[in-house]
């Protein structure tokens, strides 16, 4: 597969993201204007008087036609202007930027943990049907899909914090005694390692443990399920039969012929998993008082800070689009057949 | 290659639905159990409010924050309300929300998806764009945005949940219809004088029902979790209405100081409901699939 | 007798299913000596594939060898350890299967797939595996082997994929090749090329072969000895020529009779018992006025002028007269399916006229033809009986559907009576009418499809490979049914097939298509005996024939 063909496909996928982003902008715009009653009043807040509301109306350009408003909306976005958060007085953009690393650290750690457990589990369940591994896998999948994330988090807190005392109290990323490390990546765990502060590393890891496990249990289920199903399918395929009939070793058949082919639908599932995890994130952050963008949104909801909520929705959507793009690109590179569809 | 052997003489004539239901329940005991649990849920939803020992809204029905005991099987909450009564009564609201939401998305999603899969062309392009735009958002986040924008009410929870579930049904219907679009029996249906729409909805769509049944049941479970999640963060249902998500939210403050029963019982109820729906998926599919009949 | 390299004694395999234990093969014994080709023939359910899977020890998890012995070159295989068996697979005994494209890993370069086998069995090191793989690709006659090493299966044709599968199987020069229906699904010319390749390579490497097939013609052409199986048991085995000349068992005789030969007519295909009872073939009457006239039919897919524009049918013209059967023959991609879809008005034409019973039907769009009064007069019997019936509908409902839609005058009882009448016409027992497709056998499903097609007394019936998916003995019965119906109901046929032998049985005239055009047409007899074009000649030459019968009676007297 020549480099030229590959880069052409990559470009194609990037271009396909443009209409998606446009769609997201339209929907977010509509959401900000969908409020029953006077949007200006909502954005100005409960305490505002007539003059402020009028001011807000001017600023938002609500007197103009819809298409013009949309143009205004997009140009504001291009400059990074998402409005002002009522409760803190900071701009929404600033708040989101400040809190994003916390959410990312949580989400990525959870994904990593679940991948490391789910994929081998799914493979083992498929290669040893009807054994304890298979049953364990099916049980975890069913439980993971049935359990509400917020409930799991609270249950884990009860057991490991209240009853056993192993976990620290759910007060955020670090215990009061510690100061956050120098910001390099924004991830406390990595930054503390960079700074060489072992105690800080352990402390931040301890705070992360329960929320990450809660989130990981949730993402474990669809990944393990898809891995098992995809492996079962490839193991029953004609080309694996050919490989076996040719006497290829068990390992070769499993890895090169079955697993690599099974990865394709698993990679596709990751897109759906990302969608779920970005939602579950909000719930977990609330339970554990994790200072990420999810808890920001929840707090904003309580005080009816709509600019903040819609800013949150938009940024989550853009984050999701980028993640999906990465997955698509990975898929395009793995599967040589993709060009056939174009 | 087809067999030239004759079908066994014992193959029975056309089965009634009831007979078939008994057959699949006997074949797989899990199906029987899950159907029983499902019936139990329905009964709780319909008759629950009439059968509970205490008024779910009555504060001071007992001393506050008492653990489970003989008088209050699930204990009492911080306002002295009976947790058991509240959990049972909440069944109706939670089921109502998810059933309505799933029904809406199933009906509209299947229609849109079937039309896309069958006719292709512009229908497919436009519907596809629409669904892609919905799926471009992390779904729970989109629900948050919709409810925040449209107003904080139970109705809007239903609409928001219905909207975010739409793409699943649309995509599934589209895929299942596309596979069958050029099958022999579909062409034969055209030759037998059926109009295009008749072919699509009378011949093709019923054949997509078995796989869709599984999807519906999984989706019901997810819709319940979604609705509960939204009320956990304060959207939709308002206190003092009993609903599992709100109850967990209210109890969250207390569990870390040891009063576990406010959270655990509504949480378990949630889990049981979702679990039941996940399990009946296979049973529903078998019920609807004529190939499972002996 | 030479010592056999493979000796199977009383092999029995059981499968555990939800309904209990099913015996797939029972006390099967066979042997293969060095350099010989053994054919295992049988219809579906005969157990021929299960036997080979058992020898290779690649049975499904649910299957077990419950009795018998398998000995290969003195080694016992039936109880061998899996790791030892793995050394034997690919190195001593190899197997190739049906459906070559699916048999290759879709995301791995084909050259690498060949190299994998070489490396596994220590026939090459990582360094020279590529070279040796390319050598093997050349041996199976892949052009541009160096380039093709890096190709993926989706870039190659079915025939090329099968060559690669053969390359993988023969790379380590095994002693025995088991070929399970290796040519099913391939064009008849590709089929011949693949079989000739197998013969050449097995001769070159001095190998033995087991060829598993349902096609007696293929078995006759390529096998030294034959073994006939039915329902998991061996019916008869003998040298190929002996078996064809003097079959001993009834089933073998039935199978041989059912295989169309150069000189048989439709009635000859029936088993002895039925042959006596069947009415003699009706006299052929001269054809009447034209029923269907197709002129300058053209069909293009894609945007004209763009590079993926494909002209499937170019300038096609032919006529079918009343009472006549026209055969349309060609390999895949020749445009015959597109033509039938256009004539049936399931597809809109790009250009050209179709006149049916005096009316121009090409101008009526496909989406509106369903309600046209002529719809019931122009019907089709489909290739795959299973696929052509709605899985959720009983046989009765499927047959009733055209009556419901197009015979508005009929009430419920009248429709039911008509359905029963139709069932009688096609020989479908009435108690089967309320069964679902999955409860019917292949032959029964085919009858339901035929009943549905003739429900409205069509004038023209298009038969699209109607027996391709059926066992040969069922095919015999269905072909006879079609012939009888044609005369009883006064229909004309357009019979589409790739199998010239079958076409010849039912058709008066034949047209041969290639790349969207007619290359030859004429009287059926003439075309079969004296083809004019090279293409037709190559088609005829590629069809493997069982030896022409010399006897008509059991007594052995020459006819």
| Interval A235-252: pLDDT, tens | 999 999 999 999 999 899
User: Which residue is it, tokens 């229609």?
Assistant: B111
**Cβ of residue A275 closer than 8 Å to a chain B Cβ:** yes
Q: Which pLDDT score is estimated for C169?
A: 95
Burial of C270 (0-12, 13-18, 19+ CB in 10 A): buried
- Which residues in chain A have Cβ-Cβ distances shorter than 8 Å to C152? 336-337
Residues of B in contact with A280 (CB under 8 A): 140
User: Which subunits count as partners of chain B given 3+ CB pairs below 8 Å?
Assistant: A, C
Q: Can you spell out the DSSP letters for C442-500? A: HHHHHHHHHHHHTTT--SEEEEESTTTTS-HHHHHHHHHHHHHHHHHHT-EEEEEES-H
Q: Does one domain contain both C167 and C107?
A: yes
Residue (of C347, A156, C461, C399) closest to B252 by Cα position:
A156
Q: Does the pLDDT at position B133 exceed 70?
A: yes
Rg (CA), chain C: 26
Read off the pLDDT of each residue in A15-41 and give the average, rounded to a whole number.
81
Structural domain contains residue C152:
yes
The overall average pLDDT reported for chain C is 90
Residue C202 sits in the same domain as residue C308: no
Label residue A336 by pLDDT band (50, 70, 90). confident
- Residue-wise pLDDT for C429-465, tens only, equals 999 999 999 999 989 999 999 999 999 999 999 999 9
CB contact under 8 A, C116 and A335: no
C489 within some domain: yes
Instruction: Identify whether C284 is part of a domain.
Output: no
Residue C220 falls inside a structural domain? yes
Count of CA atoms in the C-beta half-sphere (13 A) of C184: 18
Q: State residue A22 phi and psi, 5-degree precision.
A: -60, -45
Q: Hey, is the C-beta of B97 within 8 angstroms of any chain A C-beta?
A: no
Q: Is residue C17 domain-shared with residue C112, that is, in the same domain?
A: yes
C295 and C189 fall within a common domain: no
Q: Which helix (H) or strand (E) segment is C76 a member of?
A: strand C75-76
Return phi, psi of residue B83, to 5°: -65, -40
Task: List the alpha helices (DSSP H) in C108-239.
Answer: 110-120, 129-139, 145-148, 158-170, 188-204, 216-222
Mean pLDDT of B230-249: 90
Dump pLDDT digits (tens) for B44-81. 899 988 888 888 888 877 788 888 888 888 888 888 88
Q: Is A165 on the interface with B (CB under 8 A)?
A: no
Q: Do A249 and C154 touch (CB under 8 A)?
A: no
In tens, the pLDDT along A53-70 reads 777 777 766 667 778 878
Does residue C460 form part of some domain? yes
- To test the contact with chain C by mutation, choose from A128, A230, A246 the residue with the greatest count of C C-beta atoms within 10 A, namely A246
Q: What pLDDT score was predicted for residue C551?
A: 46
Residues contacting residue B84 through CB under 8 Å, at least 6 positions apart: B52, B53, B54, B72, B73, B74, B265
Give the tens place of pLDDT for each residue, A64-106. Answer: 777 887 888 888 888 877 777 777 778 888 888 889 999 999 9
pLDDT number for residue B20: 74
Whether the CA torsion A116, A119, A123, A129 is positive or negative: it is positive
If you measure CA to CA, which chain C residue comes closest to A260? C107
Topology annotation, domain B23-49+90-292: MetI-like fold (1.10.3720)
Residue C180 lies in a domain: yes
Q: C234 and C350: one domain?
A: no
> Which pLDDT score is estimated for C558?
41
At A301-310, the pLDDT tens digits run 888 787 888 8
Task: Return the pLDDT at C61.
Answer: 84
CATH of the domain at C506: 3.40.50.300
pLDDT beyond 90 at C132: yes
Q: CA of C174: which chain A residue's CA is closest?
A: A246
Beta strands in C325-368 (DSSP E): 325-329, 351-356, 359-360
Distance separating alpha carbons of residues B91 and B37, to the nearest angstrom? 13
For chain A, the chains sharing at least 3 beta-carbon pairs closer than 8 angstroms are B, C
Contact B3 C441 (CB under 8 A): yes
The pLDDT score that the predictor gives to residue B290 is: 72
Sheet harboring C378-381: ordered strands across? C378-381, C460-464, C492-497, C325-329, C509-514, C517-523
Question: Using a CB-CB distance cutoff of 8 angstroms, which residues of chain C are in contact with residue A336?
Answer: 107, 152, 154
Where exactly are the structural domains of chain B?
23-49+90-292
Does a structural domain hold residue C508? yes
Residue C478 and residue C427: Cα distance in Å, rounded? 10
Q: With contacts defined as CB-CB under 8 Å, which chain C residues touch A266?
A: none
A31 contacts on B by Cβ (under 8 Å) = 145-146, 148-149
Tally of domains within chain C: 2
CB of A327 within 8 Å of any CB in chain B? no
pLDDT of C252 reads 92
Q: What confidence tens digit (pLDDT) does each residue in C213-272 have?
A: 998 989 999 999 999 999 999 999 999 999 998 999 999 999 988 888 777 788 888 887
Domain presence at residue C267: no
CA distance A207 to A210: 7
Please state the rounded mean pLDDT for residues A269-295. 91
Q: Mean of the pLDDT values across residues B166-195?
A: 92
CB-count exposure of residue A183 (10 Å: 0-12, 13-18, 19+): exposed
pLDDT score for A61:
67
Parent domain of C381:
290-542
Closest chain C C-alpha to B293 CA, distance in angstroms: 9
Task: Give phi and psi for C519, each to the nearest 5.
Answer: -100, -20
């Amino acid at each position: 597969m020549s480099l030229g063909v590959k880069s052409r496909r990559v470009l194609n996928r990037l271009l396909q993201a443009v209409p998606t982003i446009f769609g997201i902008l339209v929907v977010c715009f509509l959401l900000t204007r969908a409020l029953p009653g006077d949007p200006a009043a909502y954005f100005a807040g409960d305490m505002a008087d007539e003059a402020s509301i009028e001011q807000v109306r001017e600023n938002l350009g609500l007197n103009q036609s819809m298409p013009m408003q949309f143009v205004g909306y997009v140009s504001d976005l291009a400059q990074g202007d998402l409005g002002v958060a009522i409760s803190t007085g900071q701009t929404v953009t600033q708040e989101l930027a400040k809190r994003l690393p916390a959410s990312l650290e949580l989400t990525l750690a959870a994904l990593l943990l679940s991948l490391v457990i789910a994929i081998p589990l799914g493979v083992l369940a498929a290669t040893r049907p009807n054994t304890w591994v298979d049953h364990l896998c099916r049980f975890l999948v069913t439980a993971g899909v049935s359990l509400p994330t917020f409930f799991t988090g609270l249950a884990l807190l009860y057991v490991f914090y209240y009853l056993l005392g192993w976990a620290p109290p759910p007060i955020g990323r670090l215990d009061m005694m510690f100061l956050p490390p120098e910001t390099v990546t924004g991830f406390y765990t990595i930054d503390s390692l960079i700074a060489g502060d072992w105690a800080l590393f352990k402390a931040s890891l301890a705070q992360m443990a329960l929320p990450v496990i809660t989130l990981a249990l949730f993402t474990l289920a669809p990944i393990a399920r898809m891995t098992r199903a995809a492996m079962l399918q490839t193991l029953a395929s004609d080309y694996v039969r050919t490989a076996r009939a040719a006497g290829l070793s068990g390992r070769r058949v499993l890895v090169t012929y079955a697993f690599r082919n099974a990865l394709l639908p698993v990679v596709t599932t990751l897109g759906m998993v990302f969608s779920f995890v970005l939602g579950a994130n909000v719930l977990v952050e609330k339970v554990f008082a994790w200072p990420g963008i999810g808890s920001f949104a929840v707090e904003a909801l309580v005080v009816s800070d709509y600019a903040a909520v819609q800013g949150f929705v938009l940024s989550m959507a853009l984050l999701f689009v980028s993640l999906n793009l990465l997955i698509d690109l990975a898929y395009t590179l793995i599967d040589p057949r993709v060009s056939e569809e174009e | 290659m087809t067999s030239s052997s004759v079908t066994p003489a014992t193959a029975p004539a056309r089965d009634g639905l009831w007979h078939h239901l008994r057959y699949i329940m006997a074949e797989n005991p899990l199906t029987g159990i899950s159907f029983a649990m499902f019936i139990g849920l329905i009964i709780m939803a319909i008759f629950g409010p009439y059968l509970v020992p205490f008024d779910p809204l009555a504060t001071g029905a007992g001393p506050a924050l008492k653990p489970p005991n003989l008088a209050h099987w699930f204990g009492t909450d911080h306002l002295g309300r009976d947790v058991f009564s509240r959990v049972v009564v909440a069944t109706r609201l939670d089921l109502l929300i998810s059933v309505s939401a799933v029904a809406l998305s199933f009906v509209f999603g299947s229609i849109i998806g079937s039309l896309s899969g069958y006719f292709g062309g512009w229908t497919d392009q436009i519907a596809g764009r629409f669904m892609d735009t919905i799926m471009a958002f992390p779904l729970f986040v989109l629900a948050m945005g919709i409810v925040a924008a449209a107003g904080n009410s139970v109705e809007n929870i239903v609409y928001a949940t219905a909207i975010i579930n739409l793409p699943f049904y649309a995509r599934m219907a589209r895929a299942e219809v596309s596979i069958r679009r050029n099958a022999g029996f579909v062409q034969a249906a055209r030759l037998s004088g059926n109009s295009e729409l008749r072919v699509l909805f009378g011949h093709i769509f019923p054949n997509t029902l078995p796989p869709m049944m599984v999807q519906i049941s999984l989706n019901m479970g997810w819709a319940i979790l979604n609705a509960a999640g939204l009320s956990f963060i304060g959207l939709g249902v308002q206190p003092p209405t009993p609903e599992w998500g709100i109850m967990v939210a209210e109890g969250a403050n207390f569990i870390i100081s040891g009063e576990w029963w406010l959270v655990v019982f509504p949480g378990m109820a949630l889990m049981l409901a979702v679990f039941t729906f996940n399990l009946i998926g296979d049973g529903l599919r078998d019920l609807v699939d004529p190939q499972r009949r002996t | 007798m030479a010592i056999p390299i493979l000796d199977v004694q009383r092999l029995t395999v059981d499968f555990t299913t939800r309904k209990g234990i099913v015996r797939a093969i029972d006390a099967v014994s066979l042997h293969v000596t060095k350099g010989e080709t053994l054919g295992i023939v049988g219809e579906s359910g005969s157990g021929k594939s299960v036997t080979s899977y058992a020898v290779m020890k690649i049975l499904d998890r649910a299957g077990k060898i419950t009795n018998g012995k398998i000995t290969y070159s003195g080694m016992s295989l039936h109880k061998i350890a899996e790791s030892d068996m793995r050394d034997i697979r690919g190195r001593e005994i190899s197997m190739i299967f049906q459906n070559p494209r699916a048999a290759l890993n879709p995301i791995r370069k084909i050259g690498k797939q060949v190299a994998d086998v070489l490396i596994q069995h220590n026939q090459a090191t990582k360094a020279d595996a590529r070279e040796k793989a390319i050598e093997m690709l050349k041996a199976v006659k892949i052009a541009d082997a160096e380039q093709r090493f890096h190709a993926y299966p989706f870039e190659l044709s079915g025939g090329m994929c099968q060559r690669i599968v053969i390359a993988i199987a023969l790379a380590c020069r095994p002693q025995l090749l088991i070929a399970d229906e290796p040519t099913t699904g391939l064009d008849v010319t590709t089929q011949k090329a693949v079989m000739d390749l197998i013969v050449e390579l097995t001769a070159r490497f001095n190998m033995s072969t087991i060829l598993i097939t349902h096609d007696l013609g293929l078995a006759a052409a390529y096998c030294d000895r034959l073994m006939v199986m039915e329902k998991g048991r061996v019916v008869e085995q003998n040298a190929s020529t002996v078996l064809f000349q003097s079959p001993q068992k009834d089933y073998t005789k039935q199978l041989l009779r059912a295989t169309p030969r150069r000189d048989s007519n439709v009635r000859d295909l029936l088993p002895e018992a039925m042959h006596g009872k069947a009415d003699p073939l009706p006299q052929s009457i001269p054809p009447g006025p034209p029923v269907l006239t197709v002129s300058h039919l053209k069909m293009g897919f894609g945007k004209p002028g763009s590079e993926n524009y494909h002209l499937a049918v170019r300038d096609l013209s032919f006529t079918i007269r009343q009472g006549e059967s026209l055969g349309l023959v060609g390999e895949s991609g020749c445009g015959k399916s597109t033509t039938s879809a256009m004539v049936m008005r399931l597809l809109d034409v790009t250009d050209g006229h179709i006149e049916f019973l005096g009316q121009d039907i090409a101008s009526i769009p496909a989406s509106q033809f369903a309600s046209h009064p002529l719809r019931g007069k122009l019907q089709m019997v489909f290739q795959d009986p299973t696929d052509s019936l709605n899985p959720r509908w009983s046989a009765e409902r499927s047959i009733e559907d055209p009556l419901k839609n197009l015979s508005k005058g009929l009430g419920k009882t009248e429709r039911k009576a008509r359905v029963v009448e139709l069932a009688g016409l096609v020989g479908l027992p009435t108690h089967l009418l309320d069964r679902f497709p999955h409860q019917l056998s292949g032959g029964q499903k085919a009858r339901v499809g035929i009943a549905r097609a003739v429900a409205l007394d069509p004038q023209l019936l298009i038969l699209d490979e109607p027996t391709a998916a059926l066992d040969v003995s069922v095919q015999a019965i269905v072909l006879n049914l079609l012939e009888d119906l044609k005369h009883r109901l006064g229909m004309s046929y357009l019979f589409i097939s790739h199998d010239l032998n079958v076409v010849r049985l039912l058709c008066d005239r034949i047209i041969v298509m290639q790349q969207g055009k007619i290359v030859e047409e004429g009287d059926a007899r003439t075309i079969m005996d004296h083809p004019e074009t090279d293409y037709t000649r190559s088609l005829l030459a590629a069809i493997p024939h069982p030896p022409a019968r010399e006897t008509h009676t059991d007594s052995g007297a020459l006819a």
